[in-house]
C-alpha cells in the first residue's frame, strides 16, 4: 500500500550528537516536507523539496539540514542536537499534478528527545 | 497575530453530539482548505479538502468555508468515541504554496 514511512520512530540522544531522521515514500510524489510539532505551537515547516534538485528552507531551518537522495527519500539531520530540538518530527509529501495541489500526506512521526 | 487561529480546546462532548470545530484566518489569498485528524502519537491524516467557499459533506463530516468572514468549520454528526483526536485545520493559496496550519483542537467524545 502506498505510504510514507519514517525511521526511527523514537530516538533519545545527548546534546551535541549528530542525528539523522529518514523518510521514504511510495506515493510517487515529487514534493516532500519536514515539520516539527510542539505542544501549543502546532506544525512548523523546517525544510521542503519540490524535486531532487530543489531544496528550500522553511520557517525554522536553523540547526537543521536536509538531503534529498532520490524522489522517494528525504532525510533530516541535526548537526549538533540541543535540548530545545526535542519534538515530534513529521515528514510529508504532496503531488502537484492533482487538483488538490497543496494537500499533504504525513508519515507516522519520529519522537526525538535530546538530553 | 497568527495567520491561522484555532481554539486548542480541549473540547469534551457526549457520544452522539454534533461537534463544531472552527478556524479563522487573516490571509485573503487562501483558497484551499483542509482538515486533518491526528490521533495521539500518530501522524496527521487528511480528513476533508475543500476549494474556495461552500460546503462539502463526507459521511458524518461536513466542511464549511466562508471566505467573506475568513472562517472555516468542520461539523461532526453523531460523534463517536473513535472521533476523539486532535483536529488541525490547514490552508494554502494554491499553486504549490506551503500549507499554513492551525495549532489544533483536541476533541474528546465520551461514552
> What would the pLDDT profile of A27-54 be if each residue is shown by its tens digit?
999 999 999 999 888 899 999 999 999 9
Binary contact (B99, A104; C-beta < 8 A): yes
pLDDT beyond 60 at B51: yes
* A2-16 tens-digit pLDDT: 599 999 999 999 999
Tell me which of B101, B105, B106 to substitute to probe the interface with A (most A C-beta atoms closer than 10 Å). Answer: B101
pLDDT beyond 80 at B83: yes
Neighboring chain B residues of A27 at a CB cutoff of 8 Å:
none
pLDDT beyond 90 at A80: yes
Residue A29 Cα, gap to closest chain B Cα (Å): 13
Neighboring chain A residues of B87 at a CB cutoff of 8 Å:
none
Contact yes or no for A31/A56 (Cβ under 8 A): no
Bridge partners, A105 (sequence order): A93
The pairs formed by B40-47 with CB atoms below 8 angstroms and a separation of 24 or more are B40/B85, B40/B86, B41/A109, B41/A111, B42/A108, B42/A109, B43/A4, B43/A90, B43/A106, B43/A107, B43/A108, B43/A109, B44/A43, B44/A90, B44/A106, B44/B88, B45/A106, B46/A103, B46/A104, B46/A105, B47/B74, B47/B87
**Chain A within 8 Å of B8 (Cβ-Cβ)?**
yes
What phi and psi, each to the nearest 5 degrees, are found at residue B39?
-80, 160
pLDDT beyond 90 at A21: yes
Q: What is the reported pLDDT for A1? A: 53
Neighboring chain B residues of A38 at a CB cutoff of 8 Å:
none
**Chain A within 8 Å of B30 (Cβ-Cβ)?**
no
Binary contact (A100, B8; C-beta < 8 A): no
In which band, very low, low, confident or very high, does the pLDDT at A99 lie, cut at 50, 70 and 90? low
Neighboring chain A residues of B8 at a CB cutoff of 8 Å:
40
Q: What is the reported pLDDT for B103? A: 93
In which band, very low, low, confident or very high, does the pLDDT at B98 lie, cut at 50, 70 and 90? confident
Cell numbers for A36, please give them. Answer: 516539527
Amino acid at each position: 500500500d502506498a505510504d510514507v514511512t519514517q525511521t526511527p520512530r523514537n530516538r533519545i540522544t545527548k546534546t551535541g550528537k549528530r542525528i539523522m531522521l529518514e523518510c521514504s515514500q511510495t506515493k510517487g510524489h515529487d514534493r516532500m516536507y519536514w515539520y516539527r510539532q510542539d505542544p501549543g505551537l502546532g506544525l512548523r515547516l523546517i525544510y521542503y523539496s519540490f524535486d531532487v534538485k530543489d531544496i528550500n528552507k522553511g520557517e525554522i531551518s536553523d540547526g537543521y539540514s536536509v538531503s534529498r537522495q532520490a524522489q522517494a527519500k528525504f532525510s533530516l539531520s541535526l548537526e549538533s542536537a540541543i535540548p530545545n530540538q526535542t519534538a515530534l518530527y513529521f515528514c510529508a509529501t504532496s503531488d502537484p499534478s492533482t487538483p488538490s495541489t497543496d494537500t499533504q500526506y504525513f508519515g507516522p512521526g519520529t519522537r526525538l528527545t535530546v538530553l | 497575530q497568527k495567520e491561522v487561529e484555532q481554539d486548542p480546546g480541549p473540547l469534551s462532548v457526549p457520544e452522539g453530539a454534533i461537534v463544531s470545530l472552527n478556524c479563522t484566518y487573516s490571509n485573503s489569498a487562501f483558497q484551499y482548505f483542509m482538515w486533518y485528524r491526528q490521533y495521539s502519537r500518530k501522524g496527521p491524516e487528511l480528513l476533508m479538502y475543500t476549494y474556495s467557499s461552500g460546503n462539502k459533506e463526507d459521511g458524518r463530516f461536513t466542511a464549511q468555508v466562508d471566505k467573506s468572514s475568513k472562517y472555516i468549520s468542520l461539523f461532526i454528526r453523531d460523534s463517536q468515541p473513535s472521533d476523539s483526536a486532535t483536529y488541525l485545520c490547514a490552508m494554502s493559496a494554491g499553486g504549490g504554496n506551503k500549507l499554513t496550519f492551525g495549532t489544533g483542537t483536541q476533541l474528546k467524545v465520551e461514552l
